Amino acid sequence: MDGKYNKMSGMNKIDSWPLFLVGLQFVLSLETQDLYFCLAGLVLLLFSLAVGLSTASGQTPVVFFDKAQIEQSDLGDCWFLAGVSPLCNSNNLLAWVCVAWDVKCGVYGFVFWRDGGWTSVVVEDYLYITAKDFHRTQAGHQDRFDNRRVIWKDTYQTGFSSLHFASCGTSEYFWLPLLEKAYVKTHGDYQALSLGWTADSIQDLTGCVVDYVNCDILLDPDKLWAELRAVSGEHIFALDTPNGSSRASCDNLVFDHAYSIEGGFDYFDIWTCKWKQLVKIGNPWATRQGVWRGAWGDRSKE
């Protein structure tokens, strides 16, 4: 990171990578089958504090991560984002992943646990957007100096809504797409993140030992419940739903999908005079689709 900063400072320019691989299969699966036209090249995010940096006078900037800002794109990396979400609540563990940055030069340093050791990754703040440039549209071909190009850029090529991959929801923060880009760099391209296991993402982000828990063969359910209640402490959990022959769901939960586990709660039901054990889960889609609609869910009679 220091070497990258010194190089960019000496050249008096921000860091840039003219082509960041997306993955051939992913590109060919898009409508236009053209890398440049599909992703419209790269866009430089010109926000001075766009990655969620907060600083006080004379203090070092601090990065704040909020799980509520996580929003998945069409890329099938729900397993990675479901592993990111619980780390936002666990003593801000993601701060150990985002280890260095320089907003002025536009470079950000991350570390991931890969192949038995920590691997450092440096990325620049160029991110893929979906909309092509105005002069490449039908109207733009007719008159590339049309005044509508400014409106087009402000509407379709600016801010979180313009990003092609993961975004921080409706906020103007960009820590998530930068984190995703750094993780992509360790895998080679974006296509490599399509489909995976949440256990792998949690291990890559923390370096901790991970294990799979099958609730059907638990020896001590009470022990697991105690760990779920302390999910923001020593343990981190995520949920992989089983495979399904179709995209059908159980009480609106999607099969073959990854959810984050935000904690376990004991709730006393005054109507039955019994304690209920409830688990709160989060969907990286950040929409009403794919959320639990059964008992004790949002808008349920309970």
Q: Are 92 and 65 in contact (CB under 8 A)?
A: yes
Residue 101, classified by CB atoms within 10 Å of its CB into exposed (0-12), middle (13-18) or buried (19+), is buried
Which DSSP category does 24 fall into?
H
Three-state SS at 282: strand
Inter-residue contact 102 to 5 (CB < 8 Å): yes
E-only strand ranges, the chain: 42-44, 53-54, 62-63, 98-102, 107-114, 117-124, 126-128, 238-240, 249-250, 253-254, 258-269, 274-282
Q: Return the amino acid letter for 70.
A: I
Q: Is 219 helix (H, G, I), strand (E, B) or coil?
A: coil
78 assigned to active site = yes
Of 78, 88, 105, 168, catalytic: 78
**Active-site choice (88, 98, 164, 257):** 257
38 is catalytic: no
Give the span between the Cα atoms of 77 and 257, in whole angstroms: 10
In the residue annotation, 257 being an active-site residue is answered as yes
b/e per residue, 127-152, with b = 16+ CB within 10 A?
Answer: bbbbbbbbeebeebeeeeeeeebeeb
Give φ, ψ of 110 to 5 degrees.
-130, 160
C-alpha–C-alpha distance, residues 289 and 83, integer Å: 19
Catalytic residues: 78, 257, 283
